[in-house]
Amino acid sequence: MQGRVLIIAGSDPSGGAGIQADIKTVTALGGYAATAITALTVQNTMGVTGVHPTPPDIIAAQIDAVLSDIGADAIKIGMIGDVETVELIAARLAKLEDATPIVLDPVLVASSGDALAGEGVAAAIIEKLAPLCAIITPNIIEAEALTGIKVRDEDTMAAAGAALVAHGAGAALVKGGHGRGDIIKDVLVTVAGERVFSNPRIDTTSTHGTGCTLASAIATGLAQGMALPGAVKRAISYVHKAILMAPGYGEGHGPLNHTHTLESR
């Protein structure tokens, strides 16, 4: 077991996304997962019917409990339901004395299309959290909400990524899964340039928690000492195979197979 990852995100009772998907991902890739739960959601593969935010002082206490004892080699941030929580998390992480890499998955909308974040969260993420992050991983919809850029192709994906880097993020991975075409392109933008990762689109409805899973996989790679491009490449490959081997559970957007790395041993 190598690489301690603190996950700050919401809980999904169906197990496909959120903290549950994050823990499975980190474990499957050989890391150690600790958590601070930002919200209890009521959801399944069909949609989200409730979001119940954790009181901010409890979120702060969870973060402090982990960092003061277990520690973290990387931090992954997922669903944040309101501006107050964004500001609290940003203030707490800004106090970190070491250069712990932070991976931010700006969860604004669930796979089902249901909103998970309140008004003003996107702007608060840009202002408060992006400058603290080693990488931010929006999908096309989230990239548009965060930057105001209409994302239609590889060039506009790169432009949105560059805008996020200009706001202070160390890098941005704009994910193309919500786009069209037989090939999915994910565009990684850093101060050094761009890199495109291309994979064939899988014809499936098993896409619940793909964003959570990818961000946690990247965080695990960084926690294990991998360079960012390598961590991103491994994470994309891991998610692709997890979709291919999905169990087919649920009537809507089904969960992935996070344990495929263990089953193949």
- Report residue 255 as tokens: 């969960």
Split at pLDDT 50, 70, 90, the class of 114 is low
Q: What is the pTM of this model?
A: 0.95
pLDDT of residue 86: 94
Span 170-209, pLDDT tens digits: 999 999 987 888 999 999 999 999 999 999 999 999 999 9
* pLDDT of 227 above 60: yes
* pLDDT of 113 above 70: no
Span 9-41, pLDDT tens digits: 999 999 999 999 999 999 999 999 999 999 999
Catalytic residues: 175, 207, 209-212
Q: For residue 182, with 0-12 CB atoms within 10 Å meaning exposed, 13-18 middle and 19 or more buried, which class applies?
A: exposed
| C-alpha pair distances (Å), 136 with each of 88, 140, 145, 169 | 18, 12, 13, 7
Say which amino acid occupies 181.
G
Split at pLDDT 50, 70, 90, the class of 111 is low
Mean pLDDT (whole number) for 36-60: 95
Is residue 246 within 8 A of residue 131, CB to CB? The reply is no
Domains of the chain: 4-260 (3.40.1190.20)
Mean pLDDT, rounded, of the chain: 94
| Pairing between β-strand 4-11 and β-strand 135-136 as defined by DSSP bridges | unpaired
Supply angle C-alpha 109, 175, 105, rounded to 5.
50
pLDDT of residue 109: 64
pLDDT of residue 265: 56
- Report residue 122 as tokens: 């996107």
